[in-house]
Structure 1
Amino acid sequence: MTSDAIPAALLEKAYAAIDAANGSDPARVEVDGRSVPAAVLYGQRMTQVLARFRPDASDALKIAARGQHIERFTIPRETYPAGKAGYFRWRTELKNVHERRVTEILLGLGLEAAFAERVGKIVRKDRLKQDADMQVLEDVAVLVFLTYELDAFLLKHRPEPEKVAGILAKTWGKMSEEGHAAALALNLPREVVDLLHQGLAARANAED
């Protein structure tokens, strides 16, 4: 097996193994009358959006998309201190866990170490704007958020429009131009577009 492609059967086994790991998520969501683990649904949505956004994605990127949040539920945000320092510690630990678990799963399936390690590095997304696969993964994650999670996010933070504007602007800044085009094609609500512009203007003013 090469480091950039694997047999289709192994790709499906990788998906199934990641879904099985995510199957322990205590959070459940209703889909077509069925209750499914939220983490499993998220991974499957990442796969679906990646297929539309980048149908020629490498196998490593496909697996990274399925497993970018693998077992995220095992490290709740509230187990770390409040504030920026606690948040960044939490984010770093998430990266470590995601990279380690997806690598372990792929090695357990008999995949080459170079391939497994590459998937783990993509999942970490430490080199956005420099690594093409990492950038696509970030774009897809944002598109999944905008497509499936935006309404709940707005409802939760509706009393904090400035915070929402800042988060949207920061998220936008992490995307590529191709990602921006795909996001705009979603026909986002006017409220979201206005908040995004507000946040981008605030960031520009802060940089002056």
Structure 2
Amino acid sequence: MDATCPLVTKVHNEVQRMSREGLEIIMIGHAGHVEVEGTMGQAPGRMHLVQNVDEVAQLQIQDPSRLGCVTQTTLSVDDTREIMKALGERFPEIVLPRRDDICYATQNRQDAVKQLAEEAQLVLVVGAPESSNSNRLVEVASRMNVPSHLITSALDIKGTWLENVHCVGVTAGASTPEFLVDQVVERLIALSDEAEVTSLPEIDEGMHFKLPADLRR
């Protein structure tokens, strides 16, 4: 059974198409991430990995007029904007990825963290240390000068983080179980004499995926 995320499969198909058309392909992503390794494996010998703007200048491309680009789906538009700008400036004929190559859950969570950081004095992200999108959420809040921490459970919360803090924002990585988030909220309530819990408005993501064929039989 193929349990690959449909958004990742879409990128794999784009890479395979570009490879058949004879294009070299640049992938924007993080070295060692399982999605990056899987995507790079779709066109061995034709792909170049770029992790930041500085690496764009180091690229050695055979034919700049025959060049495509894809991104790791768990990055965000903000993560990739400067890199794609640099690629476009150096390689004007490059075929850049579309916005819908980005995982909607990743982008929506980063947008929500920006809202949280405008009101909160502390942001807690519930997720695994190896989770790319969870780490990006911490970075988004930190870039807005709000102290932020990646935690795996309520047990990771330190009382010192809460000193002189009146509003805590809580979010989670895309694959974090809801019960872990609930436990974090419950722990914060227990640590406060007076606590009020409010939620940002939910976003209708409007995405529906079919079950794998083996499960539809």
Answer whether TM exceeds 0.5 for this pair: no
**More strand by proportion, 1 or 2?**
2
Which one has a bigger Cα radius of gyration? 2
TM-score using structure 2 length: 0.29
